[in-house]
Amino acid sequence: MEAAELEVEWARDIIGDKIDGLDVEDLEAYIYFYTNVRCQQLGYEKPYPDYRKNPLKWIKAYEDVDLGKTDFFEQRSRQYVKVNVQDNGFDEL
């Protein structure tokens, strides 16, 4: 929980309202949501039970791309990830 609070503080200070289309409130909700995800993966209860849904669904597309990472200097990545059209969140931008 302390790490999540520090991350929220960082988001307020560094990002704040400086990026058009990215509300700091949505970013805070994303941090709390993902804290719940990680805690559950580690076998702990969700510390923020009110945050059940990912408010930044468009980030999912970038998470899936990371599954195909390769060393840039060793080979070229030719792997593309198809994201479910209804769940990618790009329509909300």
Structural domain of residue 11, as residue ranges?
A: 1-53
Same domain, residue pair 90 and 47: no
More confident residue, 88 or 18: 18
d(CA 57, CA 5): 21
Place of tokens 């990830």: 81
**Per-residue tokens: 83:** 């994201």
Same domain, residue pair 48 and 69: no
Same domain, residue pair 47 and 65: no
What local confidence, expressed as pLDDT, does residue 15 receive? 86
What local confidence, expressed as pLDDT, does residue 82 receive? 59
Tens digit of pLDDT for each residue in 70-79?
555 655 555 5
Q: What is the DSSP letter of 19?
A: S
Tens digit of pLDDT for each residue in 17-66?
888 878 889 999 999 999 999 999 999 999 999 999 988 887 765 555 55
Same domain, residue pair 63 and 41: no
